[in-house]
Homo-oligomer: A and B are copies of this chain.
Amino acid sequence: MSGERLIYMPLGGAGEIGMNAYVYGYGAPDRERLIVVDLGVTFGDMDGTPGIDLILPDLAWLEARRDRIEGILITHAHEDHVGALGLLWDRLRAPIYARKFTSAIARLKLDERGGVPESAMTVVEPWPELLTLGPFKVGFVPISHSIPESAGLVIDSPQGRIVHSGDFKIDQSPVVGEPFDPVMWQEIGRSGVRALVCDSTNVFSPHPGRSEATLVENIEALLREAKGMVVATTFASNVARLQTLANAAEAAGRSICLLGRAMRRMVDTAIETGLLSQFPNVVSPDDAAQIPRENLLLLVTGSQGERRAAAAQLAQQGYMGLALKEGDTFLFSARTIPGNERPVARIMNQLSQKGVDVLDDAGGRYHVSGHANRPDLEAFHDLIKPQFLIPMHGEHRHLREHLKLGEAKGLKGIIATNGMMIDLSGNAPKVAEYVEAGRTYLDGSVLIGGLDGVIRDRMRMAQNGHVTVTVIVDEDDEPLGDPWCEIMGLPAKGRSNAELVGILEAELSQFIGRAERRTIKDDEKLEKEMIRIVRQTSQAEIGKKPEVTVVVSRLA
């Protein structure tokens, strides 16, 4: 056995928040049997990935070793943990394991994006049930988070136990789902844990996290006291929050209407899987339009300012026959994810223009986080008492801070970012290998590599505009007529107040008129020169150098 090793390697989610994908392995080097934990996505943005629909981990390394994969384990049904499964499963073709609600939600999402055969998916029972996967025995341990049935994983190997926390918070009254159970986690730690691989999201939040249940009173008061219609938006997957909002609406005599497909789907699934046994009846948008507005609560999608979601539409023209007006109240019962500040503010300002009162998570009255804060992380370390601490689910600064937090209490650890294979077999975790771990983009219906250059070209066109240049060359390598320009995304006129296109064409004509035959004969040379002229002339005229496409048509 001395030649075998226990490895951990993030392929996504370590050094960033999003697109989680973690690999564990056990066996002789390069022959380890592998398990994959989570396959999530990140969302693109105009800033860095214009036109990109989703960002996924690059699974080339795993794909080349897919015969060694024992299974794919999904800890919970958030997009950043399950969203890539439909698009990438076909590359791995390994069986998928998840708890009941997670499986049900995953299945709905999978069907939209690629899909996975029914037979590939196995619903697992929670800890203390164990699943045998090659050299591993794995238990799905209930842990509280902002979605029901979240699981931490106990991964037992011949070289000891790993606890993979999954996303979690310490919440002993989570409203829906299983409370955090310190006794159970202590028990899991008691038999010795080699490594705790642990959520780092909120390591910079200094105060102990608050329970979901602390919101009940505030939300009840809000729904009781609001004069007009109340609209609340949160992540549809935050089923506990939906329950709290629905309970408060019932208590205030308000009917509930769900807007947005994800919202209806999530509630249906939670009811079907037995998680929401007490959810009140809901009314359709048509019926809601007939109910006095002070007797209504709308639960809507779009808490992050997504342009097409119900929240954004209600802030503008309305949605499914429902519209907001002065005296109504709009509650953001969610945190704005960093990067979404502007679209969320846009909605808030639109609502303000309608005279709608907006409440958000400022002050913490209407939202609590789903992740463990700094003191909660320390408490969890103390329950598990691992030999090693490996921070995950964080940007580099989160991982580093989390490691420092552990080291202050005497825990050994390492910062492992995407592509770093960590050998956990020895007396301290150490880097065994660096693996290529990039990003894959879903662009329309195509998966492209993050470094393919497609995005670079788009960003350049967005910054600099585009010029098309065409020129026809006859059989004798003589230019036929003058070069022709078209611009896109550029000002019509520049410094000299003449048309930019005219100025460019004049410069190009002059060049072509003087060019030597051997330049005109040489496609590459001709193109290069014409690009240079366009960029140089544009720089002088409008102060920027556009992207240029040159088409030389040669009459045969």
A residues near B, CB below 8 A?
15, 45-48, 50-51, 204, 206, 338-339, 341-342, 345, 348-349, 351-353, 355, 358, 362-363, 395-397, 399-400, 443-446, 448, 452, 454-455, 457-459, 461-466, 468, 470, 472, 480-481, 484, 486, 488-495, 539, 542-544, 547, 549, 551, 553, 555-556
Contact = CB atoms under 8 A, between A and B. Distances in A.
Given A349-B396, A397-B352, A463 B50 contact: yes
A400 to B, nearest CB: 5
A342 B339 contact: yes
Given A339-B342, A352-B396, A468-B468, A46 B462 contact: yes
A472 B553 CA distance: 8
Contact of A488 (B206, B443, B457, B463): B457
A454 B206 contact: no
A22 to B, nearest CB: 19
A50 B50 CA distance: 11
A85 to B, nearest CB: 19
Nearest to A16: B349
Output the residue of A443, A448, A458, A489 with the most chain B CB within 10 A: A489
A463 to B, nearest CB: 4
Contact of A484 (B489, B492, B551): B551
A461 B455 CA distance: 11
Chain A contact surface mostly: mixed
Contact of A443 (B395, B446, B448, B491): B491
A434 to B, nearest CB: 14
Contacts of A463: 46, 50-51, 458
Contacts of A358: 397
A454 B490 contact: yes
Output the residue of A352, A448, A463, A480 with the most chain B CB within 10 A: A352
A293 to B, nearest CB: 20
A524 to B, nearest CB: 14
Contacts of A484: 551, 553
A448 B493 CA distance: 9
Contacts of A472: 472, 553, 555
Nearest to A399: B352
The 4 tightest CB contacts between A and B, nearest first, are A445-B543, A444-B543, A444-B544, A462-B462
Contacts of A338: 341-342, 345
Contacts of A551: 468, 470, 484, 486, 551
Contacts of A206: 363
A517 to B, nearest CB: 21
Contacts of A547: 488
Contact of A461 (B399, B400, B461, B492): B461
17 contacts: A50-B459, A51-B489, A338-B345, A339-B341, A341-B341, A348-B397, A349-B397, A352-B395, A443-B543, A446-B495, A458-B462, A468-B549, A468-B551, A470-B470, A472-B472, A480-B555, A481-B555
Output the residue of A455, A462, A544, A547 with the most chain B CB within 10 A: A462
Given A446-B491, A457-B488, 15 more contacts: A46-B459, A47-B342, A338-B345, A348-B397, A352-B400, A444-B542, A444-B543, A445-B495, A448-B491, A454-B490, A457-B489, A458-B463, A468-B551, A486-B549, A486-B551
B50 A543 contact: no
A127 to B, nearest CB: 34
A531 to B, nearest CB: 13
A339 B305 CA distance: 14
A56 to B, nearest CB: 15
Contacts of A448: 491
A466 B461 contact: yes
Contacts of A542: 443-446
A544 B51 contact: yes
Nearest to A51: B463
Nearest to A463: B51
